[in-house]
Amino acid sequence: MNQESLVLYDPIFQCLTLAGVAAKEGRHVTTEDLGIIENAAMVVDTENTRIIWVGKSKDLPTQYQGIVNRYTCETEVWIPELVECHTHLVFAGDRSHDFSQRAAGKTYAEIAAEGGGILTTLSHTRNASFETLFETAQHEIERFQKLGVGTIEIKSGYGLSLESELKILHCIKALQQNTSVQLVPTFMPAHAIPPEFKGRADDYVKLICEEWIPEVAKAELASYFDVFIEEGYFSVPQAELLCLKAIDHGLHIKIHADQFKSLGGTSLAVKLGAHSVDHLDNITASDIQLLSRSNTVAVLCPGASLFTGTSYAPARQLIDQGARVALTTDFNPGTCPSRNLPLMTTIACAQMKMTVAESIAAITYNAAAALGLEKEIGSLEAGKQFRVCQLKAQSYEVLPYYFGELE
């Protein structure tokens, strides 16, 4: 090992390694699992940006005591860099009119039936230039980064034509070349039925399976495939066809399910070994049990529930039965135009009965697991990537306390 490439951070006022969370694979998280170290030290190899050692400052091994490159972090609380595991970040326009209509009493389904909702954003996004999408999305990534986020999953799904979906995916690829934030691209043509296929959902599914998935996979533009299972969108049989084709082409699976109605999306996600199933506001008791016995991560979207005025997902039941639970902003123009992932922990603790420890695990290790990245990020352990969120605070407990207003 090249000693010149090593950096020593010592002391760190408080460091949360989340080693216990990782050891339990994100289930039944307690405060003790956060791996809280007071007056900590960390050794990092800058050649590969990996953590070499972490522990109490007084226990620093002899071979690292002579490191020349040293930094003092005695006023900082360190936690793993935050992981945003569900966004629809590349789009054009907004849906403030939709929000105004919901405030006046209309439902999400009623607005969508009148041509609003996702189809409003579809029109703006199809008409937007690549440069406009890129510049807008780059600004949004910077806003996430300022709030401690170092990894962001980004879905397509606001184009719903092959040309527009490819435009979004190429935009995500270009964005990755211009940011230190790790981006995870997801292909989601099954976000809604585009207007040109109104009344012909099966034809649209067939087109995606036969032409779009193979092209996207061949171009290596996505890591994941996602589908929205809901009345008026995609059925479980349609979703299964789409997901099986995506799996055949090497894509991993994520599924939107049980947001407004329980139609069987959770059981499909478990059956297919999906990395995550997201929303779950109306998941059934039997599906909670099924999910809790699986490795599929339950990704909950408290901001969307708050913004739409709908019920929150049953986080307490999921956690108590052993499910791995992650939190997300679900950043999108229609149901949660917020980039504030720390704020989601505030809502989760105050409204969904999650503990502070559970909420922190939900935006770090478990969110990483929802992207299949838990071996690389999500905890601060030797061998993992050096990705740290540094808080100017006296305790990690400020993260959900200050409504997402972090320094």
**Predicted pLDDT at 36:** 98
Domains of the chain, start order: 3-81+379-401 (2.30.40.10), 82-369 (3.20.20.140)
Give the whole-angstrom CA distance, residue 117 versus residue 332.
Answer: 11
Q: What is the pLDDT of residues 332-356, one digit of tens each?
A: 999 999 999 999 999 999 999 999 9
Identify the band that residue 19 occupies on the pLDDT scale cut at 50, 70 and 90: very high
Mean pLDDT of 180-204: 97
The pLDDT of residue 1 is 64
DSSP assignment of 114-132 equals: TT-THHHHHHHHHHS-HHH
Question: Mind listing the pLDDT tens digit for each residue in 294-310?
Answer: 999 999 999 999 999 99
Q: In terms of DSSP bridges, do strands 325-327 and 36-45 run parallel, antiparallel, or are they unpaired?
A: unpaired
- Of 370, 400, 368, the closest CA to residue 384 belongs to 368
144: left (phi over 0), alpha (psi -120 to 50) or beta: alpha
- Would you say residue 15 has pLDDT above 90? yes
Percent of the chain's residues with pLDDT above 90: 92
Average pLDDT over residues 263-273: 98
DSSP of 185-201? EEEEEETS--GGGTT-H
For residue 51, the cross-strand partners are 44
> Does 115 score more than 90 pLDDT?
no
pTM for the structure as a whole: 0.97
